[in-house]
């Protein structure tokens, strides 16, 4: 029987080592029943490792766990689920071509006389939705691939509740949501805790941790620096705990006069591999010394537009020009040589070769550069020095150029990619989600580098799902919805809520649907 007086989860002296690397060092964490406990920290601080221990993916080398006052040890996530623990991963664990109902009951199908009782499953899911205010039951027969990311996230939560979770681990749950969807998620979290459930909330966003959590534990270098009352702390204090120094939040990111147009997109239409139109008649331009931000919920054509700009996809119609020269048909290699750098949104598939060392990854897209090759042979000494420079300048951990990319945390992989692309001395930088999964100290550094590059005359196209990032850095912000630019606004003259409405296809006052096909230079 559940001990309602005991903490929902008690982790004591948890230590986890990978060879000589200590990922968690005697970490304590207490999750009170019916509360939200945020876990924050820099990349490589040990947050994900700690949660993977709790969820049964890793065995701790030392320490103990208790759930509802009972000592526990998990050999697999199945054991954790049986103990009432569910985990909502940042990258959803859903099967795209299966329906919502099939995803929720997969592996836990109710049966009557050996047959799946679909009606019983529907009734149980409807009860969960009615209790917590989800609309998932309206989409039970819809394939996952046809749903927006906000609904998909709700499906993941309902799936965990369907499987009996009393404690939920939410890993960066707001990363792909609009402001309105974030508020909706916080409402759900409040309803869950009001019903006695307990949540662990992993986030890089300090304001969200303070807004949603009751308690906040800060990890640094694998150790717990401390746990604070969310209502009695500040962003500055949390940042100091995370990185061990003061962090500058409010940087004057704009100023100066943009130069000539460096990048032009004129009437570009792009289809995907299935022949579906993902970008419709988009026009925009970016000047030297300017940052043009593109805001929008992911999946509204941003990726296909980027691929047309960087040479990874040929548009069906329209042109892409670099300093007035048509480059629509040029290869990705030629565009790199002409000064177009690209920070991809998917670091695993596009940014790095996971089995390569950082030295070899530093060479990617640089093979033909004079600094690293004489045309016949590669200068591995110089390439190694270059990898060392990136590692040092961008605080990539571990500081080992021979380490494989797959051995790094996601945030450290991202820092290495950003360093490689920014240090190429580009004239145009296309950056997709450059600080995704990156800690607050590194975000500050990357933002400063963007500002320095703009001051040096680089034209920057910034695509980000983080509205605060877009508003902070951009000189102008274009909003994409269903493949079109619906409006282009001055970041100083628009609120985050108004941007959220535009991202959802509404006008800024929320009263009508935004017109499609507005030019990005409006």
Q: Which domains does the chain have, with CATH numbers?
A: 9-243 (3.40.50.300), 251-339+427-522 (3.40.50.300)
Give the pLDDT of residue 451: 92
| Helix pair 380-393, 410-422: axis angle to 10 deg | 120
pLDDT (tens, 9 = 90+) of the chain, 522 residues, equals 566 789 999 999 999 998 888 999 999 999 999 999 999 987 778 888 999 999 999 999 999 999 999 999 999 999 999 999 999 987 788 999 999 999 999 988 777 766 778 899 999 999 999 999 889 999 999 999 888 878 898 999 999 999 999 999 998 888 667 677 888 889 999 999 999 999 999 987 888 999 999 999 999 989 999 999 999 999 889 988 988 877 666 555 566 689 999 999 999 999 988 899 999 999 999 999 999 999 988 889 999 999 999 999 999 999 999 999 999 999 999 999 999 999 998 887 889 999 999 999 999 888 878 888 877 789 999 999 999 999 999 889 888 999 999 888 777 888 899 999 999 889 999 999 998 767 777 788 889 899 999 999 999 999 987 888 898 899 999 999 999 999 999 998 998 888 888 988 887 766 555 544 444 443
Give the pLDDT of residue 511: 59
Is 331:310 a contact under the CB 8 Å cutoff? Answer: no
Closest to 28 in 3D by CA, of 12, 9, 49: 12
Is 292:476 a contact under the CB 8 Å cutoff? Answer: yes
d(CA 38, CA 47): 10
- Using DSSP bridges, classify how beta strands 70-72 and 62-67 pair: parallel, antiparallel or unpaired: antiparallel
Residues 422-432, buried b or exposed e (16+ Cβ, 10 A)?
bbbebbbbbbb
Give the pLDDT of residue 519: 43
d(CA 430, CA 440): 22
| pTM for the structure as a whole | 0.68
Give the pLDDT of residue 515: 47
> Phi, psi (5° rounding) for residue 111?
-135, 150
């Amino acid at each position: 029987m559940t001990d309602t007086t005991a903490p929902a989860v008690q982790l004591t002296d948890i230590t986890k080592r990978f060879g000589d690397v200590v990922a968690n060092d005697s970490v304590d964490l207490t999750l009170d029943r019916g509360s939200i406990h945020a876990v924050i920290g820099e990349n490589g601080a040990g947050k994900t490792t700690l949660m993977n221990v709790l969820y049964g993916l890793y065995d701790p080398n030392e320490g103990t766990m208790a759930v509802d006052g009972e000592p526990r040890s998990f050999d697999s996530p199945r054991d954790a689920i049986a103990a009432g623990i569910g985990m909502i991963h940042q990258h959803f664990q859903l099967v795209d071509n299966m329906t919502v109902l099939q995803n929720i009951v997969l592996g836990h199908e109710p049966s009557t006389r050996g047959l799946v009782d679909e009606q019983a499953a529907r009734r149980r899911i409807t009860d969960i939705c009615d209790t917590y205010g989800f609309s998932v039951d309206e989409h039970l027969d819809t394939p996952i691939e046809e749903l927006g990311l906000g609904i998909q996230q709700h499906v993941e939560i309902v799936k965990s509740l369907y499987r009996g979770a009393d404690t939920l681990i939410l890993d960066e749950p707001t990363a792909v949501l609009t402001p309105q969807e974030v508020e909706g998620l916080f409402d759900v979290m409040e309803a869950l805790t009001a019903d006695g459930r307990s949540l662990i909330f992993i986030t890089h966003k300090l304001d969200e941790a303070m807004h949603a959590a009751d308690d906040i534990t800060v990890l640094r270098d694998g150790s717990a620096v401390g746990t604070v009352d969310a209502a009695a702390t500040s962003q500055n204090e949390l940042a100091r705990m995370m990185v061990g120094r003061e962090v500058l939040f409010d940087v004057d990111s704009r100023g100066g006069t943009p130069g000539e147009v460096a990048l032009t997109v004129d009437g570009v239409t792009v289809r995907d591999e299935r022949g579906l139109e993902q970008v419709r008649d988009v026009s925009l331009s970016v000047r030297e010394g300017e940052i043009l931000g593109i805001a929008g919920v992911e999946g509204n054509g941003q990726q296909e537009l980027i691929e047309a700009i960087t040479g990874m996809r040929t548009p069906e119609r329209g042109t892409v020009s670099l300093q007035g020269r048509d480059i629509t048909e040029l290869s990705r290699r030629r565009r790199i040589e002409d000064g177009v750098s690209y920070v991809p949104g998917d670091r695993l598939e596009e940014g790095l070769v996971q089995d390569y060392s950082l030295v070899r990854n530093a060479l990617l897209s640089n093979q033909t550069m004079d600094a690293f090759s004489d045309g016949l042979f590669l200068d591995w000494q110089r390439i190694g020095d270059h990898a060392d420079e990136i590692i040092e300048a961008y605080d990539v951990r571990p500081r080992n150029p021979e380490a494989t990319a797959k051995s790094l945390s996601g945030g450290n992989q991202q820092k290495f990619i950003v360093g490689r692309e920014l240090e190429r001395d580009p004239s145009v930088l296309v950056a997709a989600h450059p600080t995704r999964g990156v800690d607050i100290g590194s975000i500050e550094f990357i933002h400063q580098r963007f500002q320095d590059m703009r001051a040096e005359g680089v034209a920057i196209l910034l695509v980000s799902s983080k509205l605060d990032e877009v508003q902070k850095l951009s000189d102008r912000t274009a909003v994409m919805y269903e493949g079109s630019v619906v409006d282009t606004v001055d970041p100083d003259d628009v609120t985050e809520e108004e941007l959220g409405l535009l991202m959802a296809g509404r006008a800024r006052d929320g009263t009508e649907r935004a017109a499609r096909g507005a030019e990005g230079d409006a």
